[in-house]
Structure 1
Amino acid sequence: MSDGHSHGGHSHGHSHGSSGNLKTAFLLNLTFTIIEVIGGIMTNSIAILSDAVHDLGDSISLGLAWYFDRLSQRGRTPKNTYGYRRYSILGGLITGLVLVIGLGFVLWNAIPRLFAPEEVNAPGMMALAVVGVIFNGAAVLKVKKGSSLTEQVVSWHLLEDTLGWVAVLIGAGVMIVWDLPIIDPILSIGISIFVLWNVLRNLRKVFNVFIQKVPEAFDVEAFEKAVLAHPKVLSMHHTHSWTVDGEVHVLTTHLVMKRDTTRDEMIEAKSQVRRLLDERTFEHVTVDVELEGELCVIGAGPEHGMADVHG
């Protein structure tokens, strides 16, 4: 016989501050894009105008990330039983992909300049670079405070822009003193490769959420070992764990207990499962109990003597 389900408390710890962080980053980026267009026209710099197009794409992706993050904070509905949390991951995915494309565009244009350096308006670049560092740096500091995957991807997005303008500032300063236009593409390529590596790492985390892998910090084997230490638990199967958005996790499992197990002992076993899981991250926990020799309600599962672990 089955002893029903045990659900963990739903003390949603998802920070509503993430939406405010992304909103600030979006407004700062959009404002600077407008400044950059004006500055590019005034300095007659095609490089700055090209970067303005790149920043416009950044603004669009940041706006989407902000929208999806706000959407993710809605409560559950009959058709969205986990709420809209997963939409924040969609925002992070779009932002990351836009950044990868943008970095590819930067590298595509920077590599040829290694072999054919072009003269630039160094004083105008330096002045605009100072503004760029201030705007993008402020946005990075704001988003870095967040913990969501979307904010992590966006922070690298903005860091790429900030470091890019630091490179422009240093390069322009050097080129004011020495005629070395090759410095600009060298710095651009180095920073792009560094940021691309970190963005791909964060995109891997986003991908793992979409394919429902076990939460990164959760050790399934250690968890099973601790559960099986209960004197009345013979085995466990159909153990599944995944994460909704990288912050809120889910776990379901079936416990096979000795035939003489009392109801109080069943409740204690399920309580032990709950205690072994971090209550701040595992908001959805379901434990089904079967007595020794009883057929699993799922029907097609493995034999009770074996553990079946999925993520």
Structure 2
Amino acid sequence: MAHHHHHETSARIGWAFFLNLTFTIIEFIGGVLTNSTAIMADAVHDLGDTLSIGSAWLLDRVSRKEADHSFTYGYRRLSLLGALLNAVVLIAGSVWILFQTVPRLLEPQMPHIEGMMGLAVLGVVMNGYAAYKLHGGQTLNEKVLNWHLIEDVMGWVAVMIVAIAMHFVNWPILDPLLSLLFTLFILFNVFRNLKSTVKLFFQAAPEKAITREVSDKLQQISAIASIHHLHIWSLDGEHHIATLHAVVKCESLDDYRSLKQQVADTLALFEFAHTTVEFELLGEDCRDAAASQSQSPSR
């Protein structure tokens, strides 16, 4: 049953990818033929969504592979590399659009109105159908990508409104203004997501307070004297890893078993994908102490 659900998820994301890719190509061609910078800017936006959907689709397929001797945590971390590459492509595309748009703000040119309207209708239909294919999906990938596609539909509604306005009023500056709005929206989202992606790429804690929260919760267990070497990082922003050393006070084997269960129950509250805990008795030397000292900056 789970395998069937996974296959359906992959099929839905694959459909959305090919629909978006096809229409992105049509957009770039249409943007040139209609002389519309707004359509070109939206084409860059759709290119970003196509890359995101493609990455999600690839990740969905690759993530089925079991961990091996080379990738001992599995392959989920590849999504961070995909996010970085997407950001680079979108920033480059947005800069190119800005170079096209700024001169148009100074000397506006009337685009081909009927062509803009036709592409807007096609954009609403194709992006709407792609959103419909992902509607009702249960995975986080499907839900996030569905919102991306709904954003695309709203973007094409905006293009339609501007095209209709220019059909009745000779305001060609509306086209580069809409292009500028699309481009700034793209860059805002890229830099917002890029910041969190880069932090995760360099193994920063996925949430600012999570390290303190884990330490405080564990030290509420009476048999734990202290916590050190607590490291929390994330594979892909969703699946987190925690490793730690705990100095413990146990007088019997039953105490030790009880302590292990309490630690397991406490860590389960945070829903980590993987946890590794090393117990050290009071007065016992930490085997990682020498390594920690060698990595500390020299004075």
Shift of 1:138: 3.9
Corresponding residue of 2:74: 83
Deviations 1:149-203 (A, max 9, x none): x985x66865665454333211110010001010111122123212321222222
Equivalent pairs, count: 284
Q: Which of the numbers 255, 264, 267 marks the counterpart of 2:257?
A: 267
Query: Partners in 1 of 2:224 and 2:214 — Cα distance?
Result: 13
Shift of 1:47: 3.4
Q: TM-score, normalised by structure 2?
A: 0.80
Q: Relative contact order (C-alpha < 8 Å, sep 6+): which is higher?
A: 1
Q: TM-score, normalised by structure 1?
A: 0.77
Q: Which of the numbers 116, 137, 140 marks the counterpart of 1:147?
A: 140
Deviations 1:103-145 (A, max 9, x none): 2222221222111100111122111111112223444563895
Q: Secondary structure at the match of 1:267?
A: helix
Q: Secondary structure at the match of 2:251?
A: coil
Corresponding residue of 1:116: 107
In the TM superposition, structure 1's runs of 4+ consecutive aligned residues that sit over 3 Å from their partners are 15-22, 33-41, 46-65, 137-141, 143-146, 154-164, 278-281
Corresponding residue of 2:218: 227
Gaps of 5+ in 1: 1-14, 304-311
Letter in 2 for 1:120: P
Q: Considering only aligned residues, what root-mean-square deviation do their CA atoms show, in Å?
A: 3.3
Q: Secondary structure at the match of 2:230?
A: strand
Corresponding residue of 1:292: 282
Q: Find out whether 1:93 has 2:92 as its counterpart.
A: no
Corresponding residue of 2:124: 133
Distance 1:137 1:233, change over 3 A: same
Shift of 1:75: 0.9
The answer as to whether partners of 1:129 and 1:169 remain within 8 angstroms in 2 is: yes
Query: Partners in 1 of 2:280 and 2:118 — Cα distance?
Result: 71
Distance 1:109 1:196, change over 3 A: same
Matches within 5 A, 1:166-181: 166-181=157-172
Letter in 2 for 1:266: Y
Gaps of 5+ in 2: 1-5, 294-299
Paired-residue identity, %: 40
